[in-house]
Structure 1
């Protein structure tokens, strides 16, 4: 007998997920096809207000462009004009943000399209690599493959520090800013390496990924609680974020290459502690920042952390009830007829009315994980 799929054995969860997916495709995506799109610059506005009007533009970030490229490339064949929008975003990434003099990509441009923050940060470059890997996997166009190769080369030659880790930020001309490595850009670099390996065989990228995870275990895992810190061990004023613990857990657990690594073992062992200290047992709300004792430094509830916890739960054993509970909490507490609530405060009150262009990426990756879970 064929095993029964989860979608057949869990009809309530399947119906709930269908409703959430419909909301994404019929409410959230059109926001960025219509009012959230600056047709003159061919870029998404940074954020929309609750009435779907763009916030007065101060800047446009390359990272936001790349995240939307991921979202629309993932929707090719599912949403009308997704392929056209992906091509526009890919073109804008090069036209607006590429540094023709020094290589790499600027962090941001101003409201008129002139370079603004011209530093080179790893977070931006990781998302460019991530988006291009997904886009190339869909369209297999030589220009996309070339940019993918260029991004990899820039990251390896400019950001790498020779110990498996990478500088978080450099000057425009690649001179040092003494930032050192930071957890969040390194996590998204690991995510980008995984996306590259999903799109093609690449021994060099595989080696860089394994070496990165080995270095993360050595430099970022607290030896007592086993959680992954935001700054290297020994740094002043360090903390950890449950949302990032869950995000790392999903990346490691879902990868046959990384599952069973030391870093995976650490995140596996720390999962229960992170849940107990970082997730409200009644509402399912994920706290933003904790100290090493599990005390909240910031109890803000952010939609991206909710999405990452939900996605991580899809890979936990016997988590069917928890997955359904968290998906319902996401729908009831953060999604609404006009879009979504970005943040709630410690008391659960909506604390941020705007909707950033970067958030649909988190929802898209979460829903992809749910789709895989339901089979």
Structure 2
């Protein structure tokens, strides 16, 4: 990498991190946070940061914010979020975590959702690592055990959703919660050093490879291969690429790394607009466009994947890609959540779940 290229990347990364520190974090400590309930609002308006009318609070959103403020070292805010996670979302009768509570904090959607449970594990791993909280380690272990015993399906897979009592399956295995469970197992392994999480990680990676990998492209589909209406999301290929690289030898036997090397190329060729750098939402299996919407999280995953693969071509592309991302998706009061392929704003509000995507991407970009 040339000195000028390295300097350009460093300058762009510094600008992203400064915006995160000076704009994003204060937003979710302040107007995006219900201080009385000690919960993040679902979303705020871009123009004045006023919270949208409250219909619910989700456990997953609370957990994502717990991760962010643990990663950034804000102990007081992280402690409050961890307490609120237990106070509002813990199901003391049937176990596990409610999906959401209403505006007054009473259980609203009592579904037991794998995506939510994965984020509880993930957030508690970061919270325990940051502050040495033993209750977080207990929560992590208890939730991981519950996932293993209550969500188990067949062939190493896990159901995406069950009813409140864990007695009825509401949704069978889906890619997205399994991906975030992979992320959670990686974080749990690093936080605890316990080999059981690596065993679970290897088992899960093999199950995903056997069920979701689209052989012609290597891409991981959203639904089991052969499902009607399936789709390939470029952002998820980039996200999986990072996770598989981070897992390394722990999942080597699954073959996912080789598949995702092809998936990266497929997603980059068909899913990234050459003119704007925008990453589309979804492709068909033949690479044709299914959903041209550009969501900010997919852009951050592309940045992280470029920095992770780090070929000479990736490194050369990183500075201009960050510049296009900043121009297209970042503004003085926050960010644009979704844009059309033409660059028009498709979603104007800013959800409390997005800082997680910004934080994880920025943490993987080169340091200044």
Scaled by the length of structure 2, what TM-score is found? 0.96
Offset at residue 237 of structure 1 (A): 1.1
1:349 to 341, 344, 348: 344
Cα root mean square deviation, aligned: 1.5
Alignment of 1:323 with 2:329, yes or no, is no
Alignment match of 2:297 (pick from 297, 300, 304): 304
- The answer on whether the counterparts of 1:7 and 1:13 sit within 8 Å (CA) in structure 2 is no
Q: Specify every segment of 5 or more residues in structure 1 that has no aligned partner in the other structure, as ranges.
A: 77-81
Report matched runs for 1:76-225 at 5 Å: 76=73, 82-225=74-217
How far did 1:270 drift?
Answer: 2.1
**2-side partners of 1:244 and 1:41: how far apart?**
33
Judged with a 3 Å threshold, the aligned counterparts in structure 2 of structure 1 residues 154 and 7 are, in CA distance, closer, same or farther, namely farther
1:66 corresponds to? 63
The C-alpha deviation readout for 1:164-193, integer Å capped at 9, x for no partner, is 111000000001225210000000000000
Q: Does 1:34 align with 2:30?
A: yes
Residues 77-122 of structure 1 deviation map (CA, whole Å, 9 limit, x = unaligned): xxxxx11000000000000000000000000001111100001000
Change (3 A) 1:162 1:11: same
Q: Per-residue CA shift, 1:234-260, capped at 9, x if unaligned? A: 211111100001000001112233474
- The count of aligned residue pairs is 364
- After TM superposition, the score normalised by the length of structure 1 is 0.94
2: CA distance between counterparts of 1:308 and 1:6? 24
Higher mean displacement: 159-168 or 327-336: 159-168
Preserved contact between residue 47 and residue 54 of structure 1 (Cα < 8 Å): yes
Tell me the CA shift for residue 332 of structure 1. 0.6
Contact kept? 1:258, 1:264, Cα under 8 Å: no
Match of 2:247 among 252, 255, 259: 255
Indicate if the aligned counterparts of 1:164 and 1:208 stay in contact, CA closer than 8 A: no
Unaligned stretches of 5+ residues in structure 2: none
How far apart are the structure 1 equivalents of 2:295 and 2:86? 31
Change (3 A) 1:157 1:185: same
User: Where do 4+ consecutive residues of structure 1 move more than 3 Å?
Assistant: 5-9, 258-261
